[in-house]
Amino acid sequence: MTSPVDPTRGAILLPAISTRQKVERILAQLPAQGDAASQAANWSRDDLVAPVQKINQVMRNYGIEFELSDESQRTIIRVVDRESGELIRQIPPDEAMTIEKRLDEIRGRLLRWKV
């Protein structure tokens, strides 16, 4: 019978787990996508404020901030220089949010003309 202890080092030998196996284990523990989507549809903005604030407390040390936009009902992610506070990147960018807003306005005008 073989022992799981390495006689030369006195350490316990464990089977090597690949990164892929670790990822698959984590993914298996997550709820199914349909379940998460149906739960998310029932959440209000107020339900998300406290978790986003907690995430911001931790991620601010890394220069990452999250914001819930009131206008577009989107989550905005900002990468900020920790020392200067200067904005490095925003997802989605301001330009994309402006285009989305304009398209919503145009869609509203087009629908009114058809009525």
How confident is the model over 100-111, as pLDDT tens digits? 888 888 877 766
**Model confidence at 79: pLDDT above 90:** yes
pTM above 0.85, yes or no: no
**In angstroms, rounded to a whole number, what is the distance separating the alpha carbons of residues 70 and 76?**
10
Q: What is the mean pLDDT of residues 84-96?
A: 90
Any domain includes 54: yes
Q: Total domain count for the chain?
A: 1
**In angstroms, rounded to a whole number, what is the distance separating the alpha carbons of residues 94 and 100?**
10
pLDDT digits (tens, 9 = 90+) for 8-17: 555 555 566 7
**Model confidence at 114: pLDDT above 80:** no
Confidence of residue 40 (pLDDT cuts 50, 70, 90): low
Any domain includes 63: yes
Any domain includes 38: no
